[in-house]
Amino acid sequence: MNEPQFLYLTTVGWKTGKKHRIEIWYVKRNRKYYVMSELGTSAHWIRNISHNPRISFSVNGLNFIGLARIVNPMKETRLAAEVSELMKVKYKWDQGLIVELKSLDFDERQLRS
């Protein structure tokens, strides 16, 4: 079975408090999901998670509630390199601010590939 190309990420607007949903490329590594912001910190969804890291996301019909955090490539060089390589292999693209999505309602059965 092929892995889906997109996941759906929902953040809470930092000004409005309204939910915002985006479709975005992702990769999975060690039970966590990673996405990239081509616009860096100027992307609205990045601004949202900077103010409120609580998110929800769905991928391949599975729904998760979790936390998002921006990966610091200077301090987390190995993680940043591995995620960039996974993105390059999957999408032929690896330029952007890396964000980690961690499920708070982890169920290992849901994450098996």
Domain range enclosing 89: 25-104
Determine the pLDDT at residue 86: 97
pTM of the full structure = 0.89
| Beta-carbon contacts of residue 93 (< 8 Å; ≥ 6 apart) | 25, 87
- Per the model's pLDDT, the better-predicted residue between 3 and 24 turns out to be 24
Residue 50 lies in a domain: yes
| Beta-carbon contacts of residue 10 (< 8 Å; ≥ 6 apart) | 19, 20, 21, 55, 56, 57
Determine the pLDDT at residue 106: 55
Determine the pLDDT at residue 105: 74
Residue 92 lies in a domain: yes
Q: What is the CATH number of the domain that holds 62?
A: 2.30.110.10
Q: Read off the pLDDT of residues 6-32 as tens digits, 9 standing for 90 and up.
A: 999 999 999 999 999 999 999 999 999
Q: How many domains does the chain have?
A: 1
- Residue 36 in tokens: 């990239």
